Amino acid sequence: MQIKQSLEYPIWNIPHYFIKSIIIFIKLIRTGIVNLLIEKKYFNRHLELFFKLLNLFLTNKDEKEIGKKLVNCLINLGPGYVKFGQALSTRPDMLGKETCNELKLLQDNLIPIPSHIVKKIIQEENENFLKENLISFNEVPIASASVAQVHTGVLKNGKKVAIKILKPNIQQKLFKDFTFFYWITKCFEFCIPNIKRLKLSKNVEILSEVSLNELDLTLEASAADELSENFKNHPNYKVPKIYWEFTTKNMLILEFVDGIRIDDLDLLNDSKHNIKKITETGIEIFFLQVFRDGFFHGDMHPGNILIDQEGALVPIDFGIMGRLSNKDRQFLALLLTYLLNKNYRKVVEIHNDANMLGKDISHDHLAQAIRAISTPILNKPIGEVSLAKLLGQILSLSKKFNIEVQPQFTLLQKTMLMAEGTTRQINPNINMWELSGPLIDKWINETYDPFKVLEDWLHQNKLILLKFPEILNKFNEILSKK
Check 108, 177, 263, 299 and give the catalytic one.
Answer: 299
- Binned at pLDDT 50, 70 and 90, residue 242 comes out as very high
| CB-neighbour burial class of residue 88 (10 A; exposed 0-12, middle 13-18, buried 19+) | buried
Q: What is the mean pLDDT of the chain?
A: 80
pLDDT for position 458: 54
pLDDT for position 306: 94
- Residue range 458-470, pLDDT digits in tens: 555 555 656 566 6
pLDDT for position 236: 94
- Residue range 340-354, pLDDT digits in tens: 788 889 988 888 887
pLDDT for position 468: 60
- Binned at pLDDT 50, 70 and 90, residue 99 comes out as confident
End-to-end CA gap in the chain:
50
pLDDT for position 79: 86
pLDDT for position 351: 83
| 35 sits in which H/E element | helix 33-39
- Average pLDDT estimate for 310-317: 92
Comparison of pLDDT for 80 and 214, the residue scoring more: 80
Task: Tell me: pLDDT of 69 over 50.
Answer: yes
- Binned at pLDDT 50, 70 and 90, residue 253 comes out as very high
Verdict on whether the full-model pTM lies above 0.75: no
DSSP collapsed to 3 states, the chain: CHHHHHHCCCHHHHHHHHHHHHHHHHHHHHHCHHHHHHHCCCCCHHHHHHHHHHHHHHCCCCHHHHHHHHHHHHHHHCHHHHHHHHHHCCCHHHHCHHHHHHHCHHHHECCCCCHHHHHHHHHHHCCCHHHHHEEEECCCCCEECCCEEEEEEEECCCCEEEEEEECCCHHHHHHHHHHHHHHHHHHHHHHCHHHHHHCHHHHHHHHHHHHHHHHCHHHHHHHHHHHHHHCCCCCCECCCCECCCCCCCCEEEEECCCCEECCCHHHHHHCCCCHHHHHHHHHHHHHHHHHHHCEEECCCCHHHEEECCCCCEEECCCCCEEECCHHHHHHHHHHHHHHHCCCHHHHHHHHHHCCCCCCCCCHHHHHHHHHHHHHHHHCCCHHHCCHHHHHHHHHCCHHHHCCCCCHHHHHHHHHHHHHHHHHHHHCCCCCHHHHHHHHHHHHHHHHCCHHHHHHHHHHHCHHHHHHHHHHHHHHHHHHHHC
Task: Tell me: pLDDT of 82 over 70.
Answer: yes
Comparison of pLDDT for 346 and 4, the residue scoring more: 346
- Residue range 192-205, pLDDT digits in tens: 666 565 566 777 77
Task: Tell me: pLDDT of 299 over 60.
Answer: yes
- Residues above pLDDT 70, as percent of the chain: 80
Comparison of pLDDT for 383 and 424, the residue scoring more: 424
Whether residue 299 lies in the annotated active site = yes
Comparison of pLDDT for 468 and 440, the residue scoring more: 440
- Residue range 360-406, pLDDT digits in tens: 788 888 889 889 888 887 777 655 667 777 776 776 676 567 676 66
pLDDT for position 1: 45
